[in-house]
Amino acid sequence: MGSDRLSRRVTLVAAVCVALATLLIGSAPARAADAWWSPVALLGTSVTRVSAIGDAITVRTGKGATLVSTDGGKTFASAPAATRIPPLNVVTVGKETWEIDPAGRVLHATGTAANGTPVVDPGSPDLGRGAALIAAPAALPGVVVAVSTDGTVWRRGEDGDWKQALLLLPASLVQGVPRVTSIAAFTEPLTGAIYLGTDGYAVLVSTDGGDDWIRAGPGLSDSVYSLSAGSARHAVYAGTSNGLWEHVLQALPHPPAYQDAQLVWRWLGIGAITLVASAAALLGMMRLAPRRLAP
C-alpha cells in the first residue's frame, strides 16, 4: 500500500520533471544583444580627448601624450608634433557651421567661409563666457545642442526654437552635480542620435533632437571625458577614466523574435501553469477556510 503511494508520487514527480525539461529544451534562449560599448585600447589609462576623423583616431591621455591610430584603435603611436585636435566649439554639417563664440553666443553661418558670415542665431541662449560644447546631427537639419557653462544642456529645434533640454541632478548629497564633459553627433546623416558625455553619469543619448534622453552607458566607466562620432567607421568613441571605448551604431535594444512553433509551446506552457496555479490556490483556500464564518 505504502509502496504504491510512493510509486505514484515518484511517477508524478518524474512526469512534471519531464514536462518542464521538454519546455526548457524546446525553447530557444534569447540571443544576447551586442555590447553597447566595447573597449578599444589604453585600458587603465585616462583618456581626456578623442577625435575620430576619417580613418584616424587621435587621443590625448591624462599624462598629456597625444597618440594616433589609423587601424581602428588596434595600435596607437605617438602623433606627429603638428597634430591638432579640432576645437569643440565649432561644428560643420554640410554647408552649415555652428560655433560658440568666446562670449558664449551661438553663431550660425551658411555656405563656405568665404561667403558665409557667421551671425548670432536668433533666440540662442547666453551659454556663458568659455562655453565650448556644441553638436549638430546631420540627420536632423537645424537641430543643435549646446552646453552652457553652468551645465545646462540647450537644444535648438528644427524650427529654430531654443529650449533647455537637460538639467543634471546631484549624484548624491555630498557629490554634487556631475560635469558635462562632451557632446557628439554624426556629421554625416547616419543617425539623429546626440551623445552627451558626463563625469559621473557616463553617457546620455537623445534620438529626437534633445527633447528626450536615456542613459546609454552600460559597460562604460561613469567618468567620460570626451566623445567623438566617427562617420567613417559608424562609431562613437569615448575617452574615459579607463581607456578608449567604442560604440558601433546599432538599433536600440529590442525584444528577440521567435519562431511560431516556439511561441505556441511557450504560450501553452504559460497557460497550463496559470490554470494549475489558480486551481491549486482555490483548492487550498477551500480546504483551509472554516466551514462556518463568525465575524
Partner 1 sequence: MATEAFGTRLQRYRAASWWPTAATLVIAELGLGAALLIPITFSDPNGVDPFLARLSIASVLIALPSLVVQRLQAARPILLALAAVATTYTLLSAGPQILFDLFGARSGSFDEQVFWASVAQAVGTLLIAVVAWRTVAPDWRPSLRMRHLGFGGLAAAVIGSAVLIGLGLALPAGLLGRVALQPVALGRDFPLLGPANALQAFSQEVQFRGLLLGALERTMSPRWANVCQAAVFGLAHLAISYGGPEAPFVPITFLVGLALGWLVRRTNSLWPAVIIHAVADIALQFGIVQGLYGF
The 183-212 contact track toward partner 1, x by CB under 8 A, reads: -----------------xx--x-----xxx
Cβ(166)–Cβ(196) below 8 Å:
yes
Determine if 282 is a binding residue for partner 1 (CB under 8 A). yes
Stretch in the footprint of partner 1 (CB under 8 A) among 3-11, 67-75, 115-123, 268-276: 268-276
Which residue of 16, 18, 167, 232 would you call a contact of partner 1, by CB under 8 A? 167
Rounded Cα distance, 186 and 231, in Å? 6
Stretch in the footprint of partner 1 (CB under 8 A) among 97-105, 117-125, 227-235, 287-295: 287-295
Which residue of 6, 15, 24, 65 would you call a contact of partner 1, by CB under 8 A? 24
Determine if 155 is a binding residue for partner 1 (CB under 8 A). yes
Determine if 289 is a binding residue for partner 1 (CB under 8 A). yes
The 109-128 contact track toward partner 1, x by CB under 8 A, reads: --------------------
Torsion-angle region of residue 147: left (phi > 0), alpha (psi -120 to 50) or beta? beta
**Nearest of 149, 156, 166, 89 to residue 124 by alpha carbon:** 156
Planar angle of CA 263, 266, 269, nearest 5 degrees: 150
Torsion-angle region of residue 168: left (phi > 0), alpha (psi -120 to 50) or beta? beta
Determine if 15 is a binding residue for partner 1 (CB under 8 A). no
Closest distance between partner 1 and the C-beta of residue 286, in Å? Answer: 7
Cell 555630498, located at residue? 174
Task: Return the DSSP state at 128.
Answer: -
Residues 238-257 that bind partner 1 (CB under 8 A): 252-253, 255-257
Amino acid at 36: W
C-alpha cell of residue 283: 483548492
Taking the least distance from each CB to partner 1, the nearer of 123 and 170 is: 170
C-alpha cell of residue 157: 529645434
236 DSSP β-pair partners: 229, 247
Crossing angle for the helix pair 260-288 and 2-26, to the nearest 10 degrees = 140
Closest distance between partner 1 and the C-beta of residue 205, in Å? Answer: 8
Which residue of 127, 165, 227, 229 would you call a contact of partner 1, by CB under 8 A? 165
Which positions touch partner 1 (CB under 8 A)?
20, 23-24, 27, 30, 36, 155, 163-173, 200-201, 204, 210-216, 218, 222, 252-253, 255-258, 263, 266-267, 269-271, 273-275, 277-282, 284-286, 288-295
